[in-house]
Amino acid sequence: MTVPDIKFVKLAVFVNAAVPIALLARDAYYHELGANPLEFVTHTTGMLTLVFLMLTLAVTPLRKATGQPWLIRLRRMLGLFAFFYGSLHLLAFAWFDKSFVLRAIIDDTLKRPFILLGMLGFLLMVPLAITSTNKMVKRLGGERWNRLHRAVYFAAGAGVLHYYLLVKADTRIPITFGFVLAILLGYRALNKYFPSITERAPVRRPVARSQPN
């Protein structure tokens, strides 16, 4: 397999990652969000946050297991999409459920464990989004940056638990998220001690040139 043109792959990932928000906006415009559109927007953005967190966390296992180092170059965008959908989710909650009354948001956060967990997960993502630029990686230094960005494991864990604690009876979807997260984190643990099992030698072929910038 040749290494694909990363610029094009990034474009394709970006466009695809933006499909849900485009469809959500389209459906809102045409009043096709169902009987409870506000709840629908809140649930959809929450679900998308978890999906993109899982995709972000899948990059490293995927790149190591397949020996395709270029995959790492998609990680930042996926992580920022998780943060983007997470921000929309929080905005929906603060607006639709709490009418932007700060006092009500704080009270509810402290009173309800599932909201606290969601809030915690979001707050953990904030510094990661801020330090996602190349400049910040340089400024922090690779090792420190890596350590900081391990917070994403906890953000994802908090997010899954937040979802699990919210549902009334049908826990199948949150449990599936938990299972996926366990595999993605389990891979990392295994990789630390037995890289010979989990890794494939990276494919090192010349990268196809992208068009000049």
Partner 1 sequence: MIIKKPADIKSSEITDENLYLNRRNFLRGAVLAGTTVATGMLYRRLNASGKKAPATIAARESAAPYHTAEGEAANDLEDITNYNNFYEFSTSKQAVAVRAKGFITRPWSIEIAGLVHKPKVFDLDDIVKLAPVEDRVYRLRCVEGWSMVIPWLGLPLGRLLREVEPTGEARYVNFITLLDPQRMPNQKTAVLPWPYVEGLRLDEAMHPLTILATGLYGKTLPPQNGAPLRLVVPWKYGFKSIKSIVRIVLTANEPKTTWSDYAPDEYGFYSNVNPEVDHPRWSQARERRIGEFGMRSTLMFNGYADQVAQLYAGMDLKKYF
Q: Which of 6, 10, 33, 164 binds partner 1 (CB under 8 A)?
A: 33
Establish if 20 lies at the interface with partner 1 (CB under 8 A). yes
For 159, other C-beta atoms within 10 Å of its C-beta total 28
Q: How far is the CB of 86 from partner 1 (least distance, A)?
A: 17
Sign, Cα dihedral of 88, 91, 92, 93: positive
For residues 184 and 57, the answer to whether their CB atoms sit within 8 Å is yes
Site string for partner 1, 46-65 (x = CB under 8 A): -x------------------
DSSP codes, 32-49: -S-S-HHHHHHHHHHHHH
CA-nearest of 88, 189, 76 to 128 is 76
In the region spanning residues 99 to 118, those forming contacts with partner 1, defined by CB under 8 A, are 99, 108, 111-114
Establish if 67 lies at the interface with partner 1 (CB under 8 A). no
Q: Which of 138, 139, 144, 205 binds partner 1 (CB under 8 A)?
A: 205
Sign, Cα dihedral of 79, 85, 88, 94: negative
Question: Crossing angle, helix 151-166 and helix 142-149, to 10 degrees?
Answer: 10
Site string for partner 1, 155-194 (x = CB under 8 A): ----------xx-xxx-x----------------------
Q: Which residues are at the interface with partner 1 (CB under 8 A)? A: 2, 8, 11-12, 15-16, 19-20, 23, 27, 31-40, 44, 47, 96-97, 99, 108, 111-114, 165-166, 168-170, 172, 205-206, 208
